[in-house]
A = this chain, B = another copy of it.
Amino acid sequence: MEYFQPEIDRFKGLTIDSEKIIPLDEKEFEERLLESLAQWKASGYRGVWVKVWSKYASLVPICIKVGFDFHHTQPGYVMLCQWLLDKEPNSLPEYANHYIGVAGFVVNDKNQLLVIQEKFKSSEHWKLPGGHADKGENIYETAIRETYEETGVKCEFDSLLAFRHQHNYRYACSDLYFICVLHPLSEEIRSCPREISKCQWMDLDEYINNPHVSDANKFFAESYKKQQANKMCIRPSRIWNYSKTVKNNIYTIQPLDKSM
């Protein structure tokens, strides 16, 4: 136990950090870990986590050998875990399993939509500018950033139009794809040559009828027209968390004509 200096959590779990272990060679590490696992099991601990930083990667095969499985990684480390209770099913929480993508639905005052074709495309396809959210980024921030990076058009956020939930997206994870209505602050296109092959403003109804537009994108364009007609949209409100340390965005239906 004293070799590993584990942290104990409120779910009766233990976490070992490879950075904080008393230095051991690999053979000693294996022996001590096996001894400790038996002790922890006897003491009623429910699960053990081991965080292995890159420079201690030689510990990974040992952890696997003594019964750990991979849980998640972040740049620089891999986390392994092992469930200790024989009589209860493994209730260690899964890692994050959703990708977040965001598109900018940018309409100018001539009712034209900003559309792109990607350089690494598999077929001709007029898409919306967008991409994956960076860590910690708000949905509307991703929409504004990606639209600018791909098309050179600076925008401000108006509202959330829709979102799509797609399963089996990548590595058996799911994807949530949010469509943000953005107002362009200028119309000049300077598209990214690395990512984008074509970029233009296209009349909204022409877009809906274009054969190289997906059903989903047509649905978004039709939803946009309905939202404009019904004068309702989805927008975030800033609401305190439980401990009142930070405000989070909560998205609900709001009147369209009230500005943000």
Binding site for B on A (CB under 8 A): 10-11, 54-55, 57-58, 60-61, 63-65, 69-79, 88, 93-100, 120, 122, 125, 132-133, 135-136, 138-139, 161-168, 170-174, 176, 194, 214-216, 219-220, 223, 226-227, 230, 232-234, 236-237, 239-242, 244, 248-253
Pick the residue among B69, B100, B171, B236 that contacts A72 (CB under 8 A). Answer: B171
Contact between A75 and B64, CB atoms less than 8 A apart: no
Query: Cβ of A11: which chain B residues have Cβ within 8 Å of it?
Result: 120
Among residues of B, the one whose C-beta sits closest to the C-beta of A244 is: B215
Among residues of B, the one whose C-beta sits closest to the C-beta of A72 is: B73
Cα separation A61 to B57 with both chains bound (whole Å): 5
Known: A216-B248, A253-B253. 7 other contacts (CB 8 A): A54-B64, A61-B61, A136-B172, A136-B174, A164-B248, A219-B237, A230-B232
Cα separation A40 to B230 with both chains bound (whole Å): 55
Contact between B234 and A215, CB atoms less than 8 A apart: no
Query: Cβ of A54: which chain B residues have Cβ within 8 Å of it?
Result: 64, 69-70
Contact between A162 and B70, CB atoms less than 8 A apart: no
Cα separation A176 to B120 with both chains bound (whole Å): 30
Among residues of B, the one whose C-beta sits closest to the C-beta of A254 is: B226
Query: Cβ of A166: which chain B residues have Cβ within 8 Å of it?
Result: 241, 248
How many protomers of this protein does the assembly include? 2
Contact between B241 and A253, CB atoms less than 8 A apart: no
Determine how close the nearest CB of chain B comes to the CB of A239; give it in whole angstroms: 5
Contact between B136 and A252, CB atoms less than 8 A apart: no
Looking at A78, A166, A167, A252, the one whose CB has the most chain B CB atoms below 10 A away is: A252
Cα separation A11 to B121 with both chains bound (whole Å): 10
Query: Cβ of A230: which chain B residues have Cβ within 8 Å of it?
Result: 232, 253
Among residues of B, the one whose C-beta sits closest to the C-beta of A166 is: B248
Query: Cβ of A251: which chain B residues have Cβ within 8 Å of it?
Result: 162-165
Among residues of B, the one whose C-beta sits closest to the C-beta of A135 is: B97
Query: Cβ of A232: which chain B residues have Cβ within 8 Å of it?
Result: 230, 232, 253
Contact between B173 and A96, CB atoms less than 8 A apart: yes
Cα separation A11 to B120 with both chains bound (whole Å): 7
Contact between B241 and A227, CB atoms less than 8 A apart: no
Query: Cβ of A162: which chain B residues have Cβ within 8 Å of it?
Result: 250-252
Query: Cβ of A215: which chain B residues have Cβ within 8 Å of it?
Result: 239-242, 244
Contact between A172 and B74, CB atoms less than 8 A apart: yes
